[in-house]
């Protein structure tokens, strides 16, 4: 689902990425980060999570709060 969301965001003119940080995972910190900016977003946004599912769930919620109707 994550790749579909990234592809959809790109079609909307939004720059987006997801990344995993092995050092943060080793420290038992949220290792996954989603970041997006541009297009219809007024400002950049970021979401973090311990798993990719937690990260993307938070990201989709923030994108919807920002006015993007993420269809997934």
Neighbour tally for 34: CB within 10 Å:
26
| Contact indicator for 59, 1 with CB cutoff of 8 Å | no
Question: Would you say residue 15 has pLDDT above 90?
Answer: yes
Q: Write down how long the chain is.
A: 72
Neighbour tally for 72: CB within 10 Å:
9
CA distance 60 to 68: 9
What is the reported pLDDT for 20? 97
- The H-or-E segment that residue 10 falls in is helix 2-11
pLDDT tens digits along 17-56 = 999 999 998 898 899 999 999 999 999 999 999 999 999 9
- Domain edges within the chain: 2-65
What is the reported pLDDT for 56? 98
């Amino acid at each position: 689902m994550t790749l579909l969301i990234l592809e959809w965001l790109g079609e909307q003119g939004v720059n987006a990425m997801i990344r995993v940080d092995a050092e943060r995972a080793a420290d038992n910190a949220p290792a996954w980060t989603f970041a997006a900016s541009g297009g219809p977003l007024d400002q950049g946004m970021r979401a973090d999570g311990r798993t990719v599912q937690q990260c993307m769930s938070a990201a989709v919620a923030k994108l919807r709060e920002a006015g993007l109707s993420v269809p997934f």
